Amino acid sequence: MKQSIFLALMLLFLPISVLVGVSLGSTPIPIAVVFKVLVYKFSLGTVNLGQISEADLAIVWLIRVPRVLVAAMVGGALAVAGVQMQSLFQNHLASPDIIGTSTGGALGAVLAISSGLALRSIYYLPLCSFVGAVGAAFLVYAMATSRGRTPVSTLLLSGVALNALLSAVTSFIVSLKWVRWEVAQEVLFWMLGGLENRTWTHVKLCLPALSIGFVVAAFYHRELDLMLLGEETAVAVGVDVEAVRRVILTVAALLTAAAVAVSGVIGFVGLVIPHIVRMVIGPRHNYLLVTSALAGAWFLVLTDLLARTLNRPEEIRIGILTAFFGSPFFIYLLLRRRREISYF
């Protein structure tokens, strides 16, 4: 019952947050006008609920709707990847960053920007970021796998080591390009995360990967439940633990890579959202995956709204705001874990 109520609330809050996110900005537009534009566009012009100015149509449909949709998709992707990583490692402090995906995506974006490749086409930067993120995830998996087995502890250590190496390489490239301020600024902005200038092209770029990731993640909800009980229990009921681990890592990497490719590095969403949702509805993944995706989407849409409106006309980087929200919660989790260990 509690799961159904929470799911219904998320299904209600998400469209409301999307409407509010599209409505508010440097030029506020009434929600009624936003609704008219959405109906007009999604009906392919066959339904017109009233007069719409060209300016309102352009602001809503070409600028704000794609940005808000990208925010929702990125938030949902990071949250679902966080659920998978926390279940895989059986540790609620795990997040998608743990396997080097975000750092690899950042490195790919930095290479695209610093080499000038990003100036040639809008597709090159997200493509390089995606390749870097997926490549980092598979490199971690290859480093941790021996004789067909992938110990979780080795996987974790491999992720930490590769994260450090990729961060060092990224910093080295940035230091070489620091004399070109415009390049260094763009790199810095990418590493802090942001959704400015997102277009329908970015929506189309990440939608296929996110759709595949969401579907496969939902398909493996039973295996995730069983792996929470321990590998021995999962094997006893017929789960191929190694095969499931490979699928989970691949899907988590795919979701994180697609998110990083269109938004830059946005931290803590994959850590905080799954943990809060789990505290409310429990650990069953048939509800946890869906509600975490909705909650992550809702959270990032509202965070992006704050990034656009708190310091108008300037924007605050969305990665800074998620760190402000997520860091205290992470400290709380660490202190709670320390008390539990001390108690036992």
pLDDT value of residue 339: 63
Peptide bond before residue 313 is cis, with ω within 30 degrees of 0: yes
Tokens of 323: 């760190």
| Cβ atoms of residues 223 and 239 within 8 Å | yes
29 is in which domain, residue-wise?
Answer: 2-343
pLDDT above 80 for 318: yes
pLDDT value of residue 189: 77
| More reliable by pLDDT, 225 or 175 | 225
pLDDT value of residue 159: 82
pLDDT value of residue 289: 94
CATH of residue 105: 1.10.3470.10
Residue 335, burial from CB neighbour count under 10 angstroms (0-12, 13-18, 19+): exposed
Averaged confidence pLDDT in the chain: 85
Q: Dihedral (C-alpha) 301, 257, 107, 101: value to the nearest 10 degrees?
A: 110
| Cβ atoms of residues 92 and 278 within 8 Å | yes
pLDDT above 70 for 316: yes
pLDDT above 80 for 179: no
**Percent of the chain scoring above 90 in pLDDT:** 25
pLDDT tens column, 103-137: 888 888 888 888 888 778 878 888 888 888 888 88
Instruction: Output DSSP code: residue 44.
Output: T
Count the domains in the chain: 1
| Cβ atoms of residues 250 and 322 within 8 Å | no
**Highest mean pLDDT, choosing among 12-21, 24-33, 175-184:** 12-21
d(CA 266, CA 28): 26
What sign results for the dihedral spanned by CA atoms 210, 214, 219, 225? positive
pLDDT value of residue 27: 83
pLDDT above 90 for 51: no
pLDDT above 70 for 1: no
pLDDT tens column, 79-108: 999 999 888 877 777 777 777 888 888 888
d(CA 197, CA 43): 25
d(CA 194, CA 126): 13
- Cα angle 147, 150, 152; round to 5: 155
Report phi then psi at 149, rounded to 5: -120, 145
pLDDT tens column, 197-242: 899 999 998 899 899 999 999 999 888 888 887 777 788 888 888 8
d(CA 257, CA 129): 7
| Cβ atoms of residues 132 and 104 within 8 Å | yes
| Cβ atoms of residues 273 and 293 within 8 Å | no
pLDDT above 80 for 47: no
Residue with tokens 């656009």: 308
Query: Considering the entire predicted model, what is its pTM?
Result: 0.90
pLDDT tens column, 278-312: 988 988 898 999 999 999 999 999 999 999 988 87
Confidence of residue 178 (pLDDT cuts 50, 70, 90): low
pLDDT value of residue 343: 46
Mean pLDDT, rounded, for 312-339: 80
d(CA 45, CA 39): 8
Residue 282 — left, alpha, or beta (φ > 0 → left; ψ -120 to 50 → alpha)?
A: left
